[in-house]
Amino acid sequence: DYMNMNKLDSSFANRKKLAAKYGIKNYSGTASQNTTLLAKLKAGKPHTPASNNTYYTENPGKIKTLVQCDLYNSVDFTASHKTGGTYPPGTIFTIAGMAKTK
């Protein structure tokens, strides 16, 4: 399986720990939870709980949209800064680089 092929401990205790890290609440090892955990492991970065820092401060490499997203060239998010493209939830973007704009 995926975890063993990637030399990850597939024990329940470790899956429960990983589930918490990836934002899966009340992990009990159901097939549905394991499928969700597998998808999150394959996608990369763990879930980061909301904090005062609501923006990435370093390049995450890849991100997966949780909701429908539009692309903008500024954090103002106004129509004049929209660069085109509407992407459905679950779209994965590879981040080439980041720069502070404000």
| 3-state SS assignment for residue 69 | strand
pTM here?
0.46
* Domains of the chain, residue spans: 2-43, 55-102
- pLDDT, one tens digit per residue, over 71-88 is 888 777 777 888 878 888
pLDDT recorded at residue 33: 94
The letter for the amino acid at 56 is Y
pLDDT digits (tens, 9 = 90+) for 41-80: 888 766 555 555 556 667 778 888 888 888 888 777 777 8
Residue with tokens 């899966």: 24
Q: What is the mean pLDDT of the chain?
A: 82
Element (DSSP H or E) covering residue 92: strand 92-94
Helix (H) or strand (E) holding 84: strand 82-87
Note whether 29 and 38 are within 8 A (CB). no
Q: Is residue 89 within 8 Å of 66, Cβ to Cβ?
A: yes
